[in-house]
Chain A
Protein backbone atom coordinates (compact mmCIF):
# COMPACT_ATOMS: atom_id res chain seq x y z
CA UNK A 1 0.00 0.00 0.00
CA UNK A 2 1.63 3.21 -1.09
CA UNK A 3 1.51 6.07 1.32
CA UNK A 4 2.25 8.65 -1.33
CA UNK A 5 0.61 8.52 -4.77
CA UNK A 6 3.11 7.91 -7.52
CA UNK A 7 2.97 10.96 -9.79
CA UNK A 8 3.92 8.95 -12.87
CA UNK A 9 1.13 6.53 -12.13
CA UNK A 10 -1.47 9.29 -12.12
CA UNK A 11 -0.09 10.66 -15.35
CA UNK A 12 -0.21 7.26 -17.02
CA UNK A 13 -3.80 6.55 -15.96
CA UNK A 14 -4.83 9.98 -17.15
CA UNK A 15 -3.18 9.41 -20.51
CA UNK A 16 -4.79 6.01 -20.86
CA UNK A 17 -8.19 7.40 -19.93
CA UNK A 18 -7.87 10.16 -22.48
CA UNK A 19 -6.68 7.75 -25.15
CA UNK A 20 -9.57 5.38 -24.64
CA UNK A 21 -11.91 8.33 -24.68
CA UNK A 22 -10.54 9.39 -28.02
CA UNK A 23 -10.20 6.05 -29.74
CA UNK A 24 -13.51 5.14 -31.21
CA UNK A 25 -14.56 2.61 -33.76
CA UNK A 26 -15.26 5.24 -36.32
CA UNK A 27 -12.11 7.27 -36.73
CA UNK A 28 -8.94 5.22 -36.63
CA UNK A 29 -5.54 6.63 -35.89
CA UNK A 30 -3.42 6.94 -38.97
CA UNK A 31 0.03 5.59 -39.61
CA UNK A 32 1.99 8.73 -38.84
CA UNK A 33 -0.17 10.19 -36.14
CA UNK A 34 1.06 11.17 -32.74
CA UNK A 35 -1.23 12.53 -30.11
CA UNK A 36 -4.81 13.58 -30.20
CA UNK A 37 -4.43 17.26 -31.00
CA UNK A 38 -6.32 18.89 -32.66
CA UNK A 39 -9.71 17.46 -31.71
CA UNK A 40 -11.77 16.95 -34.84
CA UNK A 41 -15.44 16.82 -35.64
CA UNK A 42 -16.47 14.82 -38.69
CA UNK A 43 -19.60 15.74 -40.59
CA UNK A 44 -21.35 14.11 -43.48
CA UNK A 45 -22.86 16.10 -46.30
CA UNK A 46 -24.54 13.81 -48.77
CA UNK A 47 -21.93 11.20 -49.59
CA UNK A 48 -18.95 13.41 -48.77
CA UNK A 49 -17.26 14.05 -45.48
CA UNK A 50 -16.08 17.24 -43.85
CA UNK A 51 -13.57 17.34 -41.04
CA UNK A 52 -13.51 20.46 -38.88
CA UNK A 53 -10.78 21.28 -36.38
CA UNK A 54 -10.23 24.34 -34.24
CA UNK A 55 -6.74 25.71 -34.70
CA UNK A 56 -6.69 29.38 -33.69
CA UNK A 57 -3.73 31.58 -34.41
CA UNK A 58 -2.01 29.45 -37.02
CA UNK A 59 0.13 30.61 -39.89
CA UNK A 60 -1.02 28.93 -43.09
CA UNK A 61 2.61 28.36 -44.01
CA UNK A 62 3.11 26.35 -40.82
CA UNK A 63 0.20 24.04 -41.47
CA UNK A 64 0.56 20.78 -43.42
CA UNK A 65 -2.38 18.77 -44.66
CA UNK A 66 -1.70 15.45 -46.37
CA UNK A 67 -3.99 12.84 -47.80
CA UNK A 68 -3.06 9.25 -48.56
CA UNK A 69 -5.56 6.53 -49.29
CA UNK A 70 -8.27 7.18 -46.75
CA UNK A 71 -5.99 8.74 -44.18
CA UNK A 72 -5.69 12.42 -43.54
CA UNK A 73 -2.77 14.00 -41.71
CA UNK A 74 -2.81 17.45 -40.14
CA UNK A 75 0.49 18.72 -38.79
CA UNK A 76 1.95 22.04 -37.85
CA UNK A 77 3.10 24.34 -35.10
CA UNK A 78 0.74 26.36 -32.99
CA UNK A 79 2.51 29.52 -31.92
CA UNK A 80 1.96 31.53 -28.78
CA UNK A 81 4.20 34.52 -28.75
CA UNK A 82 4.89 37.00 -26.01
CA UNK A 83 6.90 40.19 -26.38
CA UNK A 84 10.36 40.06 -24.89
CA UNK A 85 9.86 42.16 -21.83
CA UNK A 86 6.42 40.93 -20.86
CA UNK A 87 5.41 39.77 -17.42
CA UNK A 88 3.04 36.86 -17.91
CA UNK A 89 0.16 36.89 -15.43
CA UNK A 90 -1.90 34.07 -16.83
CA UNK A 91 -1.14 31.32 -19.31
CA UNK A 92 -4.01 29.16 -20.52
CA UNK A 93 -3.39 28.72 -24.22
CA UNK A 94 -1.42 25.72 -25.41
CA UNK A 95 1.36 25.95 -27.93
CA UNK A 96 3.69 23.55 -29.67
CA UNK A 97 3.91 21.07 -32.50
CA UNK A 98 1.02 18.84 -33.40
CA UNK A 99 0.82 15.96 -35.82
CA UNK A 100 -2.33 13.97 -36.10
CA UNK A 101 -3.36 11.43 -38.69
CA UNK A 102 -6.81 9.91 -38.87
CA UNK A 103 -8.19 7.14 -41.02
CA UNK A 104 -11.72 7.25 -42.30
CA UNK A 105 -13.68 4.06 -42.79
CA UNK A 106 -14.66 5.13 -46.30
CA UNK A 107 -12.67 5.69 -49.44
CA UNK A 108 -12.12 9.27 -50.41
CA UNK A 109 -11.12 10.79 -53.68
CA UNK A 110 -7.71 12.37 -52.92
CA UNK A 111 -7.81 14.63 -55.97
CA UNK A 112 -10.96 16.34 -54.84
CA UNK A 113 -9.84 17.10 -51.28
CA UNK A 114 -10.03 20.78 -50.39
CA UNK A 115 -8.73 22.45 -47.25
CA UNK A 116 -9.84 25.82 -45.96
CA UNK A 117 -8.50 27.75 -42.99
CA UNK A 118 -10.54 30.71 -41.83
CA UNK A 119 -11.09 32.40 -38.46
CA UNK A 120 -9.04 29.74 -36.75
CA UNK A 121 -11.13 26.88 -38.13
CA UNK A 122 -9.62 24.30 -40.47
CA UNK A 123 -12.18 22.63 -42.69
CA UNK A 124 -11.27 19.65 -44.85
CA UNK A 125 -13.69 18.69 -47.59
CA UNK A 126 -13.27 15.03 -48.43
CA UNK A 127 -15.33 13.88 -51.39
CA UNK A 128 -16.20 10.22 -51.51
CA UNK A 129 -14.50 8.02 -54.09
CA UNK A 130 -16.78 7.08 -56.94
CA UNK A 131 -16.37 3.35 -56.38
CA UNK A 132 -17.31 3.67 -52.76
CA UNK A 133 -20.52 5.61 -53.16
CA UNK A 134 -23.56 3.80 -51.79
CA UNK A 135 -26.22 2.68 -54.18
CA UNK A 136 -29.73 3.80 -53.56
CA UNK A 137 -32.20 0.90 -53.31
CA UNK A 138 -35.78 1.29 -54.43
CA UNK A 139 -38.37 -0.06 -52.08
CA UNK A 140 -41.01 -1.99 -53.99
Chain B
Protein backbone atom coordinates (compact mmCIF):
# COMPACT_ATOMS: atom_id res chain seq x y z
CA UNK B 1 0.00 0.00 0.00
CA UNK B 2 1.57 3.30 -0.96
CA UNK B 3 2.45 5.45 1.99
CA UNK B 4 -0.07 8.26 2.15
CA UNK B 5 2.64 10.72 3.12
CA UNK B 6 4.82 10.01 0.08
CA UNK B 7 4.66 12.66 -2.57
CA UNK B 8 3.89 11.43 -6.02
CA UNK B 9 5.97 12.56 -8.96
CA UNK B 10 3.78 13.45 -11.90
CA UNK B 11 4.47 14.53 -15.43
CA UNK B 12 3.33 18.02 -16.30
CA UNK B 13 0.22 18.22 -18.40
CA UNK B 14 1.00 19.91 -21.67
CA UNK B 15 -1.61 22.17 -23.10
CA UNK B 16 -3.18 20.91 -26.28
CA UNK B 17 -4.71 23.91 -27.93
CA UNK B 18 -6.46 24.39 -31.21
CA UNK B 19 -4.24 27.28 -32.25
CA UNK B 20 -0.51 26.90 -32.67
CA UNK B 21 1.89 29.37 -31.19
CA UNK B 22 4.30 31.42 -33.23
CA UNK B 23 6.80 31.93 -30.40
CA UNK B 24 8.81 29.14 -28.77
CA UNK B 25 8.03 27.82 -25.35
CA UNK B 26 5.66 25.08 -24.31
CA UNK B 27 2.63 25.73 -22.23
CA UNK B 28 1.69 23.50 -19.33
CA UNK B 29 -1.45 23.30 -17.25
CA UNK B 30 -0.67 24.15 -13.61
CA UNK B 31 -2.17 22.09 -10.82
CA UNK B 32 -5.07 23.78 -9.10
CA UNK B 33 -6.95 23.36 -5.87
CA UNK B 34 -10.43 24.85 -5.70
CA UNK B 35 -12.24 25.28 -2.44
CA UNK B 36 -15.21 27.26 -1.28
CA UNK B 37 -15.91 29.06 1.95
CA UNK B 38 -18.92 31.05 3.00
CA UNK B 39 -17.95 34.24 1.30
CA UNK B 40 -15.53 33.32 -1.46
CA UNK B 41 -14.34 30.74 -3.90
CA UNK B 42 -10.57 30.27 -3.83
CA UNK B 43 -8.43 28.85 -6.61
CA UNK B 44 -4.82 28.00 -5.76
CA UNK B 45 -2.45 27.31 -8.64
CA UNK B 46 1.13 26.10 -8.57
CA UNK B 47 3.24 28.11 -11.01
CA UNK B 48 6.84 27.77 -9.83
CA UNK B 49 9.33 30.00 -11.57
CA UNK B 50 6.84 32.68 -12.57
CA UNK B 51 7.51 36.17 -11.24
CA UNK B 52 4.87 38.80 -10.63
CA UNK B 53 5.96 40.77 -13.66
CA UNK B 54 5.45 37.78 -15.95
CA UNK B 55 2.04 36.85 -14.59
CA UNK B 56 -1.13 37.88 -16.37
CA UNK B 57 -4.54 37.30 -14.84
CA UNK B 58 -7.36 38.52 -17.06
CA UNK B 59 -11.11 38.31 -16.94
CA UNK B 60 -13.06 38.47 -20.16
CA UNK B 61 -16.56 37.30 -20.97
CA UNK B 62 -16.86 35.42 -17.68
CA UNK B 63 -13.65 33.51 -18.41
CA UNK B 64 -10.78 33.93 -15.97
CA UNK B 65 -7.52 33.27 -17.73
CA UNK B 66 -4.22 32.83 -15.93
CA UNK B 67 -1.08 33.16 -18.00
CA UNK B 68 2.33 32.82 -16.35
CA UNK B 69 5.49 32.99 -18.41
CA UNK B 70 8.91 31.80 -17.40
CA UNK B 71 11.98 33.95 -17.81
CA UNK B 72 14.33 31.73 -19.77
CA UNK B 73 17.11 34.28 -19.47
CA UNK B 74 17.86 32.76 -16.07
CA UNK B 75 18.92 29.57 -17.79
CA UNK B 76 21.39 31.29 -20.04
CA UNK B 77 24.86 29.80 -20.05
CA UNK B 78 23.62 26.59 -18.46
CA UNK B 79 23.76 23.35 -20.43
CA UNK B 80 21.26 20.69 -19.45
CA UNK B 81 23.01 17.53 -18.38
CA UNK B 82 20.22 15.48 -16.86
CA UNK B 83 16.55 16.41 -16.86
CA UNK B 84 13.58 14.91 -15.07
CA UNK B 85 10.88 17.44 -15.69
CA UNK B 86 9.78 19.85 -18.36
CA UNK B 87 10.19 23.59 -18.11
CA UNK B 88 7.65 25.85 -19.71
CA UNK B 89 5.03 28.52 -19.30
CA UNK B 90 1.77 27.98 -17.48
CA UNK B 91 -1.76 28.75 -18.56
CA UNK B 92 -5.20 27.79 -17.37
CA UNK B 93 -8.70 29.19 -17.83
CA UNK B 94 -11.80 28.93 -15.72
CA UNK B 95 -15.35 29.88 -16.56
CA UNK B 96 -16.90 31.83 -13.74
CA UNK B 97 -20.51 31.60 -12.81
CA UNK B 98 -22.56 34.69 -12.24
CA UNK B 99 -22.34 34.02 -8.52
CA UNK B 100 -18.89 35.62 -8.45
CA UNK B 101 -18.49 39.32 -7.81
CA UNK B 102 -16.09 39.95 -10.68
CA UNK B 103 -15.11 43.40 -9.56
CA UNK B 104 -13.56 42.19 -6.32
CA UNK B 105 -11.38 39.30 -7.51
CA UNK B 106 -8.06 39.26 -5.68
CA UNK B 107 -4.77 37.61 -6.64
CA UNK B 108 -1.68 36.89 -4.56
CA UNK B 109 1.57 35.29 -5.76
CA UNK B 110 3.90 33.82 -3.14
CA UNK B 111 6.76 31.37 -3.75
CA UNK B 112 5.30 30.12 -6.99
CA UNK B 113 1.79 29.66 -5.58
CA UNK B 114 -0.96 31.87 -7.00
CA UNK B 115 -4.01 32.29 -4.79
CA UNK B 116 -7.06 33.74 -6.49
CA UNK B 117 -9.88 34.83 -4.25
CA UNK B 118 -13.20 35.06 -6.02
CA UNK B 119 -15.68 36.64 -3.64
CA UNK B 120 -19.23 35.52 -3.99
CA UNK B 121 -21.81 38.08 -5.02
CA UNK B 122 -24.00 39.17 -2.16
CA UNK B 123 -27.04 37.38 -3.54
CA UNK B 124 -25.20 34.08 -3.72
CA UNK B 125 -24.06 34.07 -0.10
CA UNK B 126 -25.96 31.71 2.09
CA UNK B 127 -28.42 33.36 4.33
CA UNK B 128 -29.95 32.07 7.50
CA UNK B 129 -33.70 32.29 7.46
CA UNK B 130 -35.22 32.87 10.83
CA UNK B 131 -38.34 30.98 11.58
CA UNK B 132 -41.01 33.11 13.06
Q: Which residues of A contact B110 (CB under 8 A)?
A: 57
Query: How many A-B contacts if CB must be within 8 Å?
Result: 135
Docked pose: A50 CA to B112 CA in angstroms: 20
* CB-based contact A26/B34 at 8 Å: no
Binary interface profile of B, 5-40, with partner A (CB < 8 Å = 1, else 0)?
111111000000000000000000001111111100
Interchain CB contact under 8 A, A43 and B36 = no
Which chain B residue shows the least CB distance to A22? B84
A82-106 contacts to B, CB under 8 A, are 82-83, 85-98
Given A36-B9, A54-B112, is A85 in contact with B37 using a C-beta cutoff of 8 Å?
yes
The reply on A120 being an interface residue by CB < 8 A is yes
Bound Cα distance from A118 to B108, whole angstroms: 15
> Could you tell me if A35 and B78 are in contact, using CB atoms closer than 8 angstroms?
no
* A-contacting 9-mer, from B47-55, B56-64, B98-106: B47-55
B44 contact from A39, A42, A93, A96, Cβ within 8 A: A93
Q: Which residue, of B42, B79, B83, B112, has the highest number of chain A Cβ atoms within 10 A? A: B112
A121 in contact with B36 (CB, 8 Å): no
Please tell me if A78 contacts chain B, counting CB pairs below 8 Å.
yes
Chain B residues closer than 8 Å to A83, beta-carbon distance: 35, 37
| Closest Cβ–Cβ distance, residue A38 to chain B (whole Å) | 8
Q: Which residues of A contact B123 (CB under 8 A)?
A: none
With A83-B37, A87-B36, A120-B113 already in contact, the answer to whether A42 and B48 are too (CB < 8 A) is no
Q: Which B residues lie within 8 Å of A18 (CB)?
A: 9
Q: When chains A and B are docked, how far (Å) is the Cα of A58 from the Cα of B38?
A: 27
Whether, in the assembled complex, A61 has its beta carbon less than 8 Å from a beta carbon of chain B, the answer is no
Q: Which A residues touch B80, using CB under 8 A?
A: 41-44
A80 to B32, CA, bound (A): 11
Residues of chain A contacted by B8 (CB below 8 angstroms): 37, 94
Residues of B within 8 A of A42 (CB): 80-83
User: Given that A22-B9, A57-B111, A57-B112 are known contacts, is A120 also in contact with B48, CB under 8 Å in the complex?
Assistant: yes
Q: Which B residues form the contact surface with A (CB < 8 A)?
A: 1-2, 4-10, 31-38, 42, 44, 46-51, 75, 77-85, 87, 110-113
Listed by A's residue number, 12 A-B pairs whose Cβ atoms lie within 8 Å are A8-B1, A22-B9, A36-B9, A38-B7, A42-B82, A43-B78, A43-B79, A43-B81, A57-B110, A80-B33, A88-B33, A92-B33
